[in-house]
Amino acid sequence: MLSVRIVFLGTGLFACEPLRLLAASCRVVGVVTQPDRPAGRRLRMRGSPVKQETLGLGLPLFQPRNVNDPTFVRVLQELRPDLLIVAAYGQILEQEVLEAASWYPLNLHASLLPRYRGAAPVQRVLVEGETETGVTVQRVRLRVDSGEIAGQRKVAIDFNETSGELMRRLSRMGATLLLETVKQIAQHTVTFLEQDERLASYAPCVEPSEGGIKWAMTAIGIHNLVRGLNPKPGAHTWAEIGGKRMRVKVWRTSVVDTDRGDGTPGAVVGGGKNGPFRVQAGEGTLTIDQLQLPGKRVISGSDFARGYDITAGFRFSGGADECT
């Protein structure tokens, strides 16, 4: 057990594996996460994944509405942390918080910095069709994700991998890298490298409106959008089903080919009835492997085709502006 006193700040699933590993190896004297929020169809108050993990580990839990509030800064100071460690927390830390650690604050980020700085690096690398990504441990500075790098790990991205699946892989990898870095700090062997600002790019939060499928895109572009936004916020399209115009969530697709084709983008051009159906894109075709109608469970494309008699000529369309 390392005698390093750590205050851990995290909220999302990405932060859970690092918290578990640190709690087993160091002195985690406090965990800070976002306040409970309404979630689900009934909007019941729900704690973050990190809150649930913290309760299971029996660690001190704090949920300030504003982590930079002077009252809470005093709470942090009283915990006497050697390190503040941040992973997918969701609030910007001001200087008074950063100075609460006797050594310095660290951040675990789910990209190869300086590329994809910001709140949604995993979703953005998939939407952009990147073939590799990774995790970075860096020193926290006031400018988001701009601090010196202590360590990085690269990983190849599978062509059909969703952001949820990639996030879990990066969480495990990041946990190991983070613990290695903490050990180096404790042994005074860590080295920090400045980021090359010329290579910086940004990954802002994904808005639900970005999930609208534009069928004139390439099949690969649509496929990347769908997997990048799975599980949150989800890609969507529109279709007339049972005489009603419906917003359909698309959760998984497969690229069939990348030929230009001569069908109308969004139109079913083959298959269906007893198996997957092919949809024409602006360039190429793809199958819809999983989708979800409003208020219904997720079903396979084959079940959808059988249940709603989907055959060639059926058409999906783009954004909500097309049904006003």
* Average pLDDT value for residue range 237-247: 95
pLDDT interval class at 322 (50, 70, 90) = very low
Spacing of C-alpha 290 from chain mean position: 20
Does the structure show a pLDDT above 60 at 323? no
Q: In the structure encoding, which two tokens stand for residue 62, read together?
A: 């704090």
Phi, psi (rounded to 5 degrees) for 119: -85, -20
Architecture category of domain 209-323 in CATH: Roll (3.10)
Give me the pLDDT at residue 150, please: 98
C-beta separation of 271 from 256 below 8 A: no
> pLDDT by residue (tens digit) across 292-310?
999 999 999 999 999 998 9
Strand-pair category, 316-317 with 235-241:
antiparallel
Distance CA 149, CA 142 (A): 15
Q: What is the mean pLDDT of the chain?
A: 95
Give me the pLDDT at residue 324, please: 28
**Domain coordinates in residue numbering, the chain:** 5-199, 209-323
> pLDDT by residue (tens digit) across 258-296?
998 888 999 999 887 677 899 999 999 999 999 999 999
pLDDT interval class at 319 (50, 70, 90) = low
Superfamily per CATH, domain 5-199: Formyl transferase, N-terminal domain (3.40.50.170)
CB environment 308-318: b (16+ within 10 A), e (fewer)? eebeeebbbbb
Does the structure show a pLDDT above 90 at 126? yes
Q: Determine if the pTM surpasses 0.75.
A: yes
> pLDDT by residue (tens digit) across 190-213?
999 999 999 999 999 999 999 999
